[in-house]
Amino acid sequence: MSPKELDTPCVLIDLDRVETNIKRLQGYLDAHRIANRPHIKTHKLPQIARMQVDAGAVGITCQKLGEAEVMADTGFDDILITYNILGESKLHRLTQLAKRIRLCVSADSDVTIHGLSQACASAGTEVGVMIEFESGKQRCGVQTPEEAVTLARLITSQPGLRFEGLLTYPTTEHTVPFVDKTRALLKTEGIEIPCVSGGGTPRMWDAHRWKGVTEHRAGTYVYGDRKTVSTGAMMFDEVAMHVLTTVVSRPTADRGILDAGSKVFSSDTLDLDGFGYILEYPEARIYGQSEEHGHVDFSRCSVKPKVGEKVTVIPNHACVVTNLVNEVVCLKNGKVYEVWPVAARGLVR
C-alpha cells in the first residue's frame, strides 16, 4: 500500500531512513569512542529503541519515570532518567524499577539526593546518580563546580546511591571548562568521575570536540525535523518523519487549509517561520494554525493544490508530534509496513 492511500492526518515513519540515521550517529560516536545513549523522547517506541541498542547504544535515556517503565517492560535494562525524581509516589516507583534494571537518574539539589537515598536505602536497592550542571540553556543544573563537588560528596556519603558522574544538556562551549574544574576539585577528595554525559542533536557532529565528555545523548537525530535541517545537522532527504495531510479548504485563491493543526504539529516554532515545510509546495508557508487546521499561504506557489489533495509536511519539531499521536505508520521501501502504537506517549509522570 502506498502511504498516499492512507487517511489523514497521519504520521509516517520511514524505517529505512531511521536505520540509516541510527547507523550514521553510532558510527561517528564509535569512531571517537564516545558512548551513545539515545534519548527515546523523540520516538517513544520500544521498536526503535531496540534498533538503537542493537546498533551499539550503551543504553537509553528517558525523561520521565513512566517512559522508563514502558521501556523496562519491553526489555531495556540500562536506563538513564535525566530528571530530578521527587515525591513519595515517584520514589516508590523508582525503587521498584531499580530492582529490575541498571537505573541512573540526575539530580541538582540536596533535596533530590536525600529523597533518592532514603527511598533506595529503605527499599534495599541502589540507584546511580549523575549531577546535572548548567551549560547555558538555563534549565535545571548546578551553576558552579563548587556546587557540583558539594553534591558529589553528598552522593558518595549516602546509602543507596552510586555516584555516576556529571550530566548536562545541551553540550556547549561552557561544558568542558566546567567539567575540567569539577574534576580537579573532586580529585583532591579522591572522587573519580565515572561518566560525563552531554547531549543534543543540533551539535551532535561536534561531540568529538568536547574533550572529556564520554557519553552523548541525542534524541531527534533518529527522525530529524525542520529545526534539525535548519541547524545543518541533517538534510531534508534524511528526515524520517512526515505528516501526511489533506487540503480540506481553499477559501481564497492563495489560502489553503490543511486537516492538521496544533493537535498534530504542536505550536512549537523553535524560532522558525511558520509551522512546517510542505514537500510538494516548498514555497508555501504554514502561517497559522488552529487546533485542527493548518493555515497555508500558497501565494508564492506557481501551481496550487486542489481541495482533497494530500500533501506531506516535515514538522518543526519531531518529538512533540510523536507525543500528540496514538500511532505512527511505518514505511519500508516507500510502502506501508506496519502501524505502531506510540507506547510511551503522554506519560507526564
Check binding of 104 to a second copy (CB under 8 A). Answer: no
Residue from the set 4, 30, 73, 87 that interacts with a second copy by CB under 8 A: 87
Residue from the set 41, 43, 203, 242 that interacts with a second copy by CB under 8 A: 41
Q: Per-residue contact track with a second copy, 108 to 127, x per CB under 8 A? A: xx-xx--x------------
Torsion angle, alpha carbons of 178, 184, 187, 189, to 10:
-80
Minimum CB distance to a second copy, residue 221 (Å): 16
Q: Per-residue contact track with a second copy, 42 to 71, x per CB under 8 A? A: ---------------------xx-------
Check binding of 262 to a second copy (CB under 8 A). Answer: yes
Check binding of 242 to a second copy (CB under 8 A). Answer: no
Q: Do residues 61 and 37 make contact, with C-beta atoms less than 8 angstroms apart? A: yes
Check binding of 324 to a second copy (CB under 8 A). Answer: yes
Q: Spell out the residues 6+ positions from residue 342 whose beta carbon is closer than 8 angstroms to its own.
A: 43, 44, 45, 322, 323, 325, 326, 327, 328
**Cα 110 from Cα 107, distance rounded (Å):** 8
Check binding of 290 to a second copy (CB under 8 A). Answer: yes
**Cα 167 from Cα 199, distance rounded (Å):** 9
Angle at 36 between CA 30 and CA 42, to 5 degrees: 135
Q: Which is nearer to a second copy, 102 or 263 (CB)?
A: 263
Check binding of 225 to a second copy (CB under 8 A). Answer: no
Q: How far is CA 342 from CA 53, 322, 330, 339, in A?
A: 18, 7, 11, 9
Q: Do residues 56 and 78 make contact, with C-beta atoms less than 8 angstroms apart? A: no
Check binding of 158 to a second copy (CB under 8 A). Answer: no
The three three-digit cell numbers of residue 199, written as one number = 547531549
Q: Do residues 216 and 37 make contact, with C-beta atoms less than 8 angstroms apart? A: yes
Minimum CB distance to a second copy, residue 349 (Å): 6
The piece of 16-24, 72-80, 83-91, 209-217 that touches a second copy (CB under 8 A) is 83-91
**Cα 166 from Cα 184, distance rounded (Å):** 13
Angle at 109 between CA 104 and CA 112, to 5 degrees: 55
**Residues at the site binding a second copy, with contacts judged by CB under 8 A:** 7-10, 41, 63-64, 83-84, 86-87, 89-90, 108-109, 111-112, 115, 134, 138-143, 246, 248-252, 255, 257, 259-260, 262-264, 266-269, 288, 290-293, 295, 306-308, 319-320, 323-326, 346, 348-349
